[in-house]
Amino acid sequence: MGDLIAEQLVSRETMTALQEFEALVRKWTKSINLVAPSTINDIWDRHIVDSAQIFKYAPDSFRTWTDIGSGGGFPGIVVAIMAREHHPTSRFTFIESDRRKATFLRTAIRTFDLRAAVLDQRIEQAVPQQADVVSARALTSLSMMFEMLQRHLSPQGIAVLHKGRRHDNEVAEARKLWRFELEEHASLTDPEARILAIQGIQSATD
């Protein structure tokens, strides 16, 4: 599925960096569980391509991007590598409470010379980021995530989230507690998954 990344109009330099990031993940996964063992042989499609596809849903004007629960750098490091080419002045923040994974993220930032920083704290305790974009992948249910999103998004910001086959149920549950604008996009890597672009998050009781 490398052509799916090529469709994002990335340069050969960016493609090479993404391939080098794949190799870095493979190396570190020998000692840290960065990705599920069942997906280690399919990192490119299951993780890198899956992460890269969200980049086009960020507004062209974004300057700050916060990735919450960054784990092994999916999607955070992937989109930060892509941003070097398309948004070279934008800054990224990765929030990851696991110290070993935070160390990996800092290593990736140095390796690929990214404009990024890591907060090794819990998402709900980190300083509010007021980010233009907040991303998350395989974190928690949508309704539980909204307080985190509201904490770290700017009022005009957009959340771009990976959601699996239960996305319809999660949206329905979230609407009981929250008001929000939603756009759903088909996933390029899983026909049952969706990319959710969410704005205007407010508590239903406000």
* Surface-to-core class of residue 50, CB atoms within 10 Å of its CB (0-12 exposed, 13-18 middle, 19+ buried): buried
Residue 164 backbone phi and psi in degrees, to 5:
-90, -155
- The CATH number of the domain holding residue 64 is 3.40.50.150
Question: Could you give the 3-state DSSP secondary structure of residue 1?
Answer: coil
pLDDT tens by residue, 125-179: 999 999 999 999 978 889 999 999 999 999 999 999 999 889 999 999 999 999 9
Question: What's the whole-model pTM score?
Answer: 0.93
d(C-alpha 170, C-alpha 119), whole Å: 28
Helix axes 142-152, 167-174, angle to 10 degrees: 60
- Does 69 count as an annotated binding residue? yes
Structurally, how many domains does the chain consist of?
Answer: 1
Whether 176 and 36 have beta carbons less than 8 Å apart is answered as no
pLDDT tens by residue, 22-81: 999 999 998 998 988 878 888 998 999 999 999 999 999 999 999 999 999 999 999 999
- What letter does residue 38 receive in the DSSP assignment? G
Domain range for 71:
2-203
- Does 123 count as an annotated binding residue? yes
- Does 137 count as an annotated binding residue? yes
